[in-house]
Amino acid sequence: MQRVSNRNMGFKRIESGLIIAVIALVSLLTCATPPPDAAPPRDAAPHTLVLLHTNDHHGAILPNNGKGGLAERAAFVKSVRADYGDVLLVDAGDINTGPALSNMFDAKPDFTAYNLMGYDAATFGNHEFDKPLSVLREQLALAAFPFVSSNIKEGNTFLGGNQYLIKQYDGYTVGIFAVTTLRTKIVASPDKSLVFIPEIEAAQDAVAVLKKEKVDIIIGLTHIGDVREAPDHVTSPALAQAVPDIDIIIDGHSHSLFEEPLKVGGTWIVTANEWGKQVGKGVITIAAGEITGFDWKPVAIDGTLGLDPDAEVAAMLEPYITKANESLKEVVGEASETFVFGNRLTRYGETALGNMVTDANVWYFEKIYNQKLDFAFHNGGGIRAELPRGPVTQERVLTVLPFENYLFIASLKGSDILALFDFIATVPQGAGGFPQFSKEVRYTLDLSGGEGKITGLTIGGAPVDPNKTYRFCTNDYMIKGGDGYEALTKSEDPFNTSLLLSYVVGEYVKAQGTITPATDGRMTVVGGVTP
């Protein structure tokens, strides 16, 4: 049972003056009284702490293909609590942005479920900043658990109110700090009032405080990822190398599935995949203020656990599901075959899914607005899921395109278009900024030489004319330079259509009746990889 440890042991009053004098004399002679700043005595008895952790939940309220689900996760957490005394349950960020069921309620059911599960702490992922700061404030007010951030400040206060946490158990203490990737400023839309401190600097400061507090275990709750996305991207292995006093890093952002902990120096790094499909479970043994054992594995939340969904969480979710179904189950069309998403394929090359989304933009503005566009394009990271074969519902469209991205129409000179494609050549496969283009654009991305190179670029069947002005469509995030697209900030005559990308795609599907996945060679990747 968690409690505040009392390390200041008092002496039993002894009435005999002689005995008191003897004790005082011996104490003076042996210097038994420690100085005021000495460390508290370490508890030599072995203790066990079970660490449960999640990351990149992304609004996955219900199971996906039999995996995950909040009620199912709650049942597993409850079973672990029944088997162990000390349990620490934390989340490494990106609770927000995913299926429509969560998005339409600003993740209120998700946060309420986290409350019911008894989360001890969470930190901010980049997707906590997809919506206005006012929405995040409402979520923080709803959360019955603390948010920790050591590197995001609002004025003089750390966002969420906690630079670090100290959890006191019977016989040992755990210190928790947290950092969010600085790439949030590029891949999301954080409020301009927020200040991001470099990850390593923030971790060093927080760890120094925790060491001064003489905690037994230091845990870094990070949303930075283990896969490097850009030259200046600080990953969890890099953080562990730079700040060696961290015992365990619980990471998120890359959606990686670890089968065993990654060890960097003396630091264990763990992460738990995505969407609540896995919960990381680590059994930590502590003795005399040191970790003497760390038995960790990812636990799949699926039917193999033999647990019924938690009744309390399921009952809480039911009204949200009922209300959402009223609007989200409307069928707008039919997919003749599945539009495959795979392992985020829209970040690696041409996809039928990306083709459909971008072609829908050009079609809509020509047919409905009578406005001819030269092309449309979007960041592949904005496309989040497959579109299965069969009826296409509003929910399916919103699951594929969960962000509230408004469409902009703007112009660029041909010379700036060439600069745009020079940048596109540098976007690594796997990054959210990897583009998807409409059928008017054709090019080859040659990665065989180590550095990307664009060749054979045509728009509308002709090479780019540096002196011509091209009219294109993209989303509000991109037009502001999101994902590093600074070239788009030079756009002329930007026009906010006030139309959501998901709405336009839904209207396209409705007009087509039946859509069929296809690629046509508009993007050829040479020397790249396929996940």
How many Cα neighbours within 13 Å face the side chain of 113? 31
Alpha-carbon distance 145 to 117, whole Å?
A: 10
Q: Where is 459: in which H helix or E strand?
A: strand 453-459
Alpha-carbon distance 433 to 529, whole Å?
A: 16
Nearest to 95 by CA among 134, 52, 129: 129
**What's the one-letter identity of residue 173?**
T
Q: What are the helix (H) ranges across 329-487?
A: 352-367, 394-400, 414-424, 476-479
Q: What are the helix (H) ranges across 121-170?
A: 133-142
Q: How many residues does the chain have?
A: 531
Alpha-carbon distance 478 to 459, whole Å?
A: 20
The DSSP-derived string for 424-448 is HTTSPTTSTT-EEE-TTEEEEEE-T
SS3 per-residue string spanning 493-528? EEEEEEEEHHHHHHHHHHHHCEECCCCCCCEEEECC
Residues 6 or more apart whose CB falls under 8 angstroms from that of 411 comprise 469, 470, 471, 472, 491, 492, 493
Nearest to 353 by CA among 500, 517, 474, 529: 517
Q: Is the dihedral of CA 298, 292, 222, 198 positive or negative?
A: negative
Q: Six-digit token pair at 352?
A: 């039928």
Fold classification of 48-320 is Purple Acid Phosphatase; chain A, domain 2 (3.60.21)
Compute mean pLDDT per 10 residues along the chain, 531 residues long, and list them.
Answer: 31 32 34 38 82 96 94 98 97 91 93 98 95 96 98 97 97 97 88 97 98 97 92 95 98 94 98 96 95 97 96 98 88 97 96 98 92 96 96 94 91 96 96 97 93 95 97 95 93 85 94 98 94 85
Position 14 scores a pLDDT of: 30
Q: Domain segments of the chain: what residues? A: 48-320, 332-526
Alpha-carbon distance 429 to 408, whole Å?
A: 25
Q: Six-digit token pair at 527?
A: 């020397």
What letter does residue 228 receive in the DSSP assignment? -
Q: Under DSSP, is residue 334 helix (H, G, I), strand (E, B) or coil? A: strand
Same CATH topology for 48-320 and 332-526? no
Alpha-carbon distance 275 to 400, whole Å?
A: 14
Position 34 scores a pLDDT of: 36
The DSSP-derived string for 251-281 is EESS--B-SS-EEETTEEEEEB-STTSEEEE
Rounded to a whole number of angstroms, the CA Rg of the chain reads 27
Position 94 scores a pLDDT of: 95
Q: Are strands 164-169 and 152-154 parallel, antiparallel or unpaired?
A: unpaired
Position 41 scores a pLDDT of: 55
Cα of 33 vs its chain's centroid, Å: 49
Bridge partners, 285 (sequence order): 48, 293
User: Angle formed by the axes of helices 70-83 and 108-117, to 10°?
Assistant: 10
Q: Six-digit token pair at 529?
A: 């990889």
Burial of 330 (0-12, 13-18, 19+ CB in 10 A): middle
SS3 per-residue string spanning 52-109? EEECCCCCCCCCECCECCHHHHHHHHHHHHHHCCEEEEEECCCCCCCCHHHHCCCCHH
- The pTM of the full predicted model, rounded to 2 decimals, is 0.75
Task: List, in sequence order, every beta strand (DSSP E) within 149-301.
Answer: 152-154, 157-158, 164-169, 172-180, 194-196, 217-223, 248-252, 262-264, 267-271, 278-287, 290-300
Fold classification of 332-526 is 5'-nucleotidase;  domain 2 (3.90.780)
How confident is the model over 33-77, as pLDDT tens digits? 333 344 445 667 899 999 999 999 999 999 988 999 999 999 999
Position 42 scores a pLDDT of: 63
Bridge partners, 271 (sequence order): 251
Q: Under DSSP, is residue 298 helix (H, G, I), strand (E, B) or coil? A: strand
Residue 436 contacts residue 233 (beta carbons within 8 Å): no
Q: Where is 332: in which H helix or E strand?
A: strand 331-335
How confident is the model over 414-457, as pLDDT tens digits? 999 999 999 999 999 999 999 999 999 999 999 998 789 999 99
Residue 192 contacts residue 221 (beta carbons within 8 Å): no
